[in-house]
Amino acid sequence: MMSVWTLLLTALLLILCRIIYNLFFHPLHRFPGPRMAAATTWWRAYKEVYKQETLAQVLFGLHEQYGHIVRIGPNELHFGKPSAYHDIYNGTKRWDKDEGLYRTPGLRSGSFILLKYAEAKERRDVLQPMFSKKAISNLESLIWSKAHTLASAIREANTAERSIDFLHAFRAFTLDTIMCFTFGNCVNALSAPDFMDPLVVTMDASLRSVPFLRNFPRIRDLIYSIPPSLIMRVLPNPEKLAPRVYQVRAMIEEELAKVLQNPQKLNQAPHQTIFHRMLDADTHRNRIIPDYTELQDEGFTIIFAGAITVADTLVVGLWNLLNQPQTLSRLKSELLTVWPDLHRAPRLKQLESLPLLTATIKESLRHLPLAASLTRVVPHPGAVISGEQIPPGTIVGMASIHVHQSEDVFSNPSSFIPDRWLDDGAGELEQWLVPFSRGPRMCFGVNLAWAELYVAFAMMIRCFDMTIDQTTPEDMEWRECIGVYYPRRHLHAWCRPVVR
């Protein structure tokens, strides 16, 4: 029998052979980048987990050092030239998503997670009609009603002399909107004291474990193999002791169970929910209704995809506006043209006609911390990206902040300048605004996102005089692996209600 030492030695030898292969014989060996990154995936784990760095931020320096293509893993390339974005994400590229990134949430299905284009297209055909421009305009009253609830809660906090945590407030707004719309089951996060709804708080906290889960797939799979509901049942005091990923999944499962155990409740919903669509065999090409796990995975995906990004756009936009009183005051004047009487809110269509508000939303989306490289697998026989022949099987990707912060495309890219979207030549810039990505896997919540952004920005700017409460630029430094979080203090602001 082999001794432990022989086994260890063999394992070490195999690792060494792998490293030598990766460095000198791998099809990507000619691409530049840190040697450690080429040798082993541990480089990434070291950066993201041990050093707690955001790879997309590190990559700005690496592209400067190594050029527009950088090898960031034994089998992974990141691209830095904005034009590469359109080479990878466009209508003709039906490339698989890479499981290294998309298995991180521990789901097997769900629109965002499905790896193959064909599967994702089938699911998209079922759900996308709910998110069309027309469907979303029918949802206008729901969005306004959540925005009014948000405004009332902010007024109450102000009366009690409390400033507002914008991250929690806007995530409560987006969570209530997405849950009421897609589940037909409102969680009323907006009524939680200080917007500290358990789901909002736990979702935020769970994002901190994403770098670990992404970099240690075996441990991750082990963790996810235990059903969250079991952990929550067997652990004493699970609200304190269970890892956040379990807590958030258990909460979403609970919300789903409320809907699925009582499907006739769906009849009371004033609009179609994802379950109307997914439980209807006629919406599926193969006429097969997804099983319980698939429904759960879809619900989880939609909640995370829909609740976090919109709220984060509001946070980043308002942070910049509060530091630019002149732009804020121009926005207030513009809003008065369609919203003169405080008690009669305008229609979404009227907000959409406002040039400065529209430009502000675009600029907020450009500044959104979207830093995950949305990785794809190059199919046979390979592809040309950024003018270079890339071998099949390579994982390729680009984070949208590398387009949005490019000096080749945007002048003063790090400055918040809504007027850039109103200047001559703004039309040219549009192709470089890619927060929702492009191509067959681009976001299908885009119309809902825009509607929520119009309504919430308008509500905050028209109804409140806002000033920052001690938040510093350092507080606004973020980290991101798949969803952004702020390790220090969230943006807080005083919101004094305007009277006319």
- Binding residues for ligand HEM, rule: CB under 6 A, are 111-112, 120, 124, 301-302, 305-306, 309-310, 313, 368, 370, 374, 435-437, 441-445, 448-449
CB of 256 to ligand HEM, least distance (A): 15
Smallest gap, in angstroms, from Cβ of residue 369 to ligand HEM?
A: 10
**Least distance between ligand HEM and beta carbon 484 (Å):** 11
Q: Which is nearer to ligand HEM, 135 or 429 (CB)?
A: 135
Looking at beta carbons only, is 181 or 195 nearer to ligand HEM?
181
Closest separation in Å from C-beta 211 to ligand HEM: 17
Token match 């991180």: residue?
A: 104
Residue closer to ligand HEM, measured from CB, 328 or 453: 453
Structure tokens given for 431: 């192709």
Strands 464-468, 492-497: parallel, antiparallel or unpaired by DSSP? Answer: antiparallel
DSSP H/E element including 440? none
Smallest gap from residue 17 Cβ to ligand HEM (A): 34
Three-state SS for 154-200 is HHHHHHCCCCEEHHHHHHHHHHHHHHHHHHCCCCCHHHCHHHCCHHH
CA 267 to chain centre: 31
Q: Is 495 annotated as a binding residue?
A: no
Closest CA to 279 of 117, 126, 448, 115: 126
Q: Which is nearer to ligand HEM, 82 or 232 (CB)?
A: 82
Q: From its phi and psi, is residue 472 left (phi > 0), alpha (psi between -120 and 50) or beta?
A: beta
Nearer to ligand HEM, 129 or 243 (CB): 129
* The residue to which tokens 């790879």 are assigned: 55
Q: From the CB of 207, what's the least distance to ligand HEM, in Å? A: 15
Residues 6 or more apart whose CB falls under 8 angstroms from that of 424 comprise none
CA 305-308-311 angle, to 5 degrees, is 135
- Which residue's beta carbon is nearest to the bound ligand HEM? 445
**Coil/strand/helix, residue 381:** coil
Token pair for 450: 């825009």
Q: What tokens appear for 213 in the block?
A: 């889960």
Minimum Å distance from CB 438 to ligand HEM?
A: 9
40 vs 309 by CB, closer to ligand HEM: 309
Q: Which is nearer to ligand HEM, 256 or 305 (CB)?
A: 305
Nearest distance, CB of residue 182 and ligand HEM, angstroms: 7
Which residues have a Cβ under 8 Å from the Cβ of 78 and sit 6 or more positions away? 59, 62, 63, 69, 70, 72, 373, 396, 397, 398, 399
Select 101 or 154, whichever has its Cβ closest to ligand HEM. 101
Torsion angle of C-alpha atoms 159, 161, 165, 166, degrees rounded to 10 = 50
How near is the Cβ of 385 to ligand HEM at its closest, in Å? 16
Nearer to ligand HEM, 158 or 437 (CB): 437
Question: Which region holds residue 443: left if phi is over 0, alpha if psi is between -120 and 50, else beta?
Answer: beta
Q: How far is the CB of 271 from ligand HEM (least distance, A)?
A: 14
Separation of alpha carbons 357 and 441, rounded Å: 28
Rounded to whole angstroms, the Cα distance separating 329 from 63 reads 39
CB neighbours of residue 24 within 10 Å: 9
Q: How many other β-carbons are positioned within 10 Å of the β-carbon of residue 467?
A: 12
Closer to ligand HEM at the Cβ: 139 or 302?
Answer: 302
Which 3 state secondary structure label does DSSP give 291?
coil
**What is the Cα–Cα distance from 215 to 470, expressed in whole angstroms?**
35
The annotation places the binding site for heme at 443
Q: Which segments are annotated as binding site? A: 443
